[in-house]
Amino acid sequence: MKANGKEVRSVEYDKERNVIRLIDQRALPEELKFFEVGDYKEACYAIKDMVVRGAPAIGVTAAFAMAQAHLQKKDLKEVAGALRATRPTAYDLNYAIDRMLESEDPLRAAMEYYDSILDKGKRIGDYGEALIRDGSTVMTHCNAGALATADYGTALAPIRRAKEKGKKIKVLVSETRPRLQGAKLTAWELSNEGIEYYIIADGASGYFMKKGMVDLIIVGADRIASNGDFANKIGTYEKSVLAKENGVPFYVAAPVSTFDFSIDTGSEIPIEERSEDEVLFISGKRIAPQNSRALNPAFDVTPCDYVTGFITEYGVFKPEEIKKIREKNHYAQGRVA
C-alpha cells in the first residue's frame, strides 16, 4: 500500500533480526510509525491493544510470532495458547496458529502464509472488482484494507482494483465508532490511493441507502460460520438489514482462512466485549458525564440471509454455495473433517 507515496506493508518480518515490524495503527492517520515485536508477549500486546488489527493481519502476525518463538526455542503450545487468548472473535488467528503448529518448519510456513494472504487479497480484488460498475458508489465499514491484511486488503481490494482499472468510483466510509477505524484507517488508505471518499456518521448509512446513493456495500469479516452467518465489526449487522430493506447488494470479502467450518451458525461465534472507555473517551477526552457506563461489544453477527455474496480468493459465492468454498480448499477441508 502507498503511504505518502512510498510502498509500505502493515506487517513485515525481518529475518535477520527475527523481529516483526508492524505499522502502529493506533497512531494513524496522524503519524506513520512502526512497532517492533521481539517475542510472543509483545505480539500478544500488539494484538490485544490493536497496534495491529483486522482478522487476516492478526493471522499473519500470529504466524510470524509462532515462527519467531520457534527460533527462540520457546514452547510453541504455550505461545499458541497465549496468542489465541488475545482476541476471541477473529478466526484467522486460530487458522494461522493451527497451520504453524502442524508445520515442521514454522518460519517457512509463516512466510508461505504471508505470501498467500497477499496473493488472496489480489484475487479477492479481481473477483470483487467485476461487481463494481463504473461510476458506482461503494459503502464500506470499519477497515478491511491493506492495514487489516498485510497489503491490498479484503473489502478494499475490489475498490483498489476498480481504481487501477480506471473506473470512476466513490466510497462512503462509515466512521465506525467506537474506535473510528473507518474515519482513521480506511480514510487514510483511500487518501493515499487517491480514491474519492466521504466519511459519514455510522447512523447515516441508512439515510444514503434509502436515497439510492449506494450501489453496493462491501465489508470484511472476522469469522464466517459454515452457513454463512458472519461476525464483523459492530455496526455491520445494521448495514446488512438496511441494505436488504433498500435493495442494496451486500458483499462480504474474506479469504478462506476466515471461514470456521467447525461451527454451523453464527450463534457459536464468541463476541469480544472491549473496554467501556473506548465508548466514553475519544482521543483521550471524556465525552459523557462522570460515572457513565457503556456497553461495548466489538463485533456483531450478521445472519447469512442478508448476504448477497462472499468475495473470496476462489470467486464470489452465495451463502448457499459455501460448501463449494470448503471443497476448493483442501486444507480447510482436511483440518475439520
Asked if residue 29 binds a second copy (CB under 8 A), the reply is yes
Nearest to 141 by CA among 10, 279, 239, 274: 239
Tell me, residue by residue from 182 to 201, as one string, x for binding to a second copy by CB under 8 A and - for no binding: -xx--xx--x-----xxxxx
DSSP letter at 297?
B
Letter string b/e over residues 252-261, b meaning 16 or more CB atoms within 10 A of that residue's CB: bbbbbbbbbb
Active-site pick, 222, 229, 260, 300: 222
Q: Is 145 left (phi over 0), alpha (psi -120 to 50) or beta?
A: beta
**Residue 15 beta carbon to a second copy: minimum distance, rounded to whole angstroms:** 33
Residues from 124 through 153 that contact a second copy (CB under 8 A): 141
- Contacting a second copy (CB under 8 A), which of 38, 81, 135, 203? 203
- Contacting a second copy (CB under 8 A), which of 34, 45, 207, 331? 207
Asked if residue 178 binds a second copy (CB under 8 A), the reply is yes
Does residue 134 have an active-site annotation? Answer: no
Residue at grid coordinates 482462512: 257
Asked if residue 71 binds a second copy (CB under 8 A), the reply is no
- For helices 76-84 and 55-71, the axis angle rounded to 10 degrees is 160
Asked if residue 250 binds a second copy (CB under 8 A), the reply is no
Asked if residue 14 binds a second copy (CB under 8 A), the reply is no
- Cell digits for 195? 480514491
Asked if residue 221 binds a second copy (CB under 8 A), the reply is no
- Contacting a second copy (CB under 8 A), which of 82, 118, 206, 335? 206
**Residue 193 beta carbon to a second copy: minimum distance, rounded to whole angstroms:** 12
Asked if residue 26 binds a second copy (CB under 8 A), the reply is no
Residue at grid coordinates 527475527: 18
Please provide the DSSP assignment of 33-94 as one string. Answer: -EEEE-SHHHHHHHHHTTSS-SHHHHHHHHHHHHHHHHHTT--HHHHHHHHHTT-SS-HHHH
DSSP letter at 298?
S
- Contacting a second copy (CB under 8 A), which of 180, 224, 253, 263? 180
Asked if residue 245 binds a second copy (CB under 8 A), the reply is yes
Nearest to 318 by CA among 250, 234, 272, 245: 250
Asked if residue 277 binds a second copy (CB under 8 A), the reply is no
Distance CA 265, CA 224 (A): 8
Catalytic residues: 222
Binding site for a second copy (CB under 8 A): 29, 141, 172, 174-178, 180, 183-184, 187-188, 191, 197-208, 210, 233-238, 241-242, 245, 279-280, 282-283, 285, 287-289, 291-297, 300
